[in-house]
Amino acid sequence: MGDPKIIAIVSGKGGVGKTMLAVAMANELARSRRTLLLDLDFFNRGLTGLFASLKPRSTQTEVAAPKFLRTNADTAWSVSEVSTNLFMVYYDDIDDSQSGLLEAADVKALANELSGYVSYLAGEFKCDFVVLDCHGGPDKTSFAACLAATRSVLVSEPDRITLHGTLNFLRTMRREAPSAAVDIRLIFNKVVAAFGPMFLFSFYRQFLQSEFGGRELLAIYPLELYLTKAFEKMPFLTTAYPQSQLAAKTRLVLHELFKDDPKSGCRRKSPSSARSPHSWASTTWGDGQRF
């Protein structure tokens, strides 16, 4: 098995739907590939809270704690399979000295350690993909996750405060790791009906595309209130609501992220079929299962 494909989900502000997107992506990947989900929001731990109820039901496998947290030997880090092919990392609360370590760390060194730790976990559980759910805001762990990731996704909303946070995230990351080449793409999430997709694409091209290295806007997710309400009760929304925009767009996003990566398992179709309006639907992964 080669290096795992790491997807970092970051944002410049909390509450934009990172965790929902991270779980949706991990759940869709887990349909055909072994996938690991790691909560890198050490302060809020929303993802850990979401899967807390599943922890007692599943078998726990103890794993080593990451070195960058300088954890005690008695600190428990474990991994359990919360759904078929989907592995979740559980750990205890971090203390003040550990959060201080994270804040004082050098981003590149932290990225190296994080990359090594994620590779270790992926190797232990034979995972092809790792999804990192980061803290909502510009913190060093998020920057390190972006540097360590194969693909990074910055989640934003079309409003002034979130846009300000998004730009601040990019600016701070550039300051913290000026020479690092980060493959980061933008997603507009929770988009209300007042915003047309044409407007958002045009806005992105006019103002933001250069900030993302000329890459296209990755996706626009509409606000689906029924999913937001159901998320806490059933985290695997793309399984429960396969016809939702969340499910359809997540499949497209994953295809878009890895279409140029031959090792990802996303087989690229011939140019003629790629032009077909339904080509995305026929995209298959490794074992032929629909992605």
Partner 1 sequence: MGPLQEILARLGTVKNPVLFTSGAFSISDLYLCKDLFQATNPIAIVTGAVMYLLAVGVVLIGLAFYIYAFLRLPSTAQELVFLQEGSAALARHNASQRVGRAKKRRPDG
Residues near partner 1 (CB under 8 A): 158-160, 163-164, 167-168, 171, 174-175, 192, 194-196, 198-199, 203, 207-208
CB of 223 to partner 1, least distance (A): 13
Closer residue to partner 1 in complex, CB, 203/241: 203
User: ∠213-246-44 over CA atoms, to 5°?
Assistant: 75
User: ∠74-75-81 over CA atoms, to 5°?
Assistant: 120
CB of 205 to partner 1, least distance (A): 12
Q: Which alpha helices (H) appear in the chain, and where do they start and end?
A: 18-29, 46-50, 96-104, 107-124, 140-148, 160-176, 197-203, 225-230, 237-240, 245-258, 271-274
Closer residue to partner 1 in complex, CB, 58/168: 168
CB of 162 to partner 1, least distance (A): 10
Closer residue to partner 1 in complex, CB, 195/236: 195
CB of 206 to partner 1, least distance (A): 8
Closer residue to partner 1 in complex, CB, 198/225: 198
Query: Which phi and psi (to 5°) does residue 83 adopt?
Result: -160, 165
CB of 187 to partner 1, least distance (A): 16
Closer residue to partner 1 in complex, CB, 132/177: 177
Closer residue to partner 1 in complex, CB, 66/137: 137
d(CA 49, CA 155): 21
d(CA 30, CA 289): 11
CB of 186 to partner 1, least distance (A): 13
Spatial CB neighbours of 10, under 8 Å, sequence gap ≥ 6: 18, 134, 142, 145, 146, 152, 153, 154, 155, 169, 184
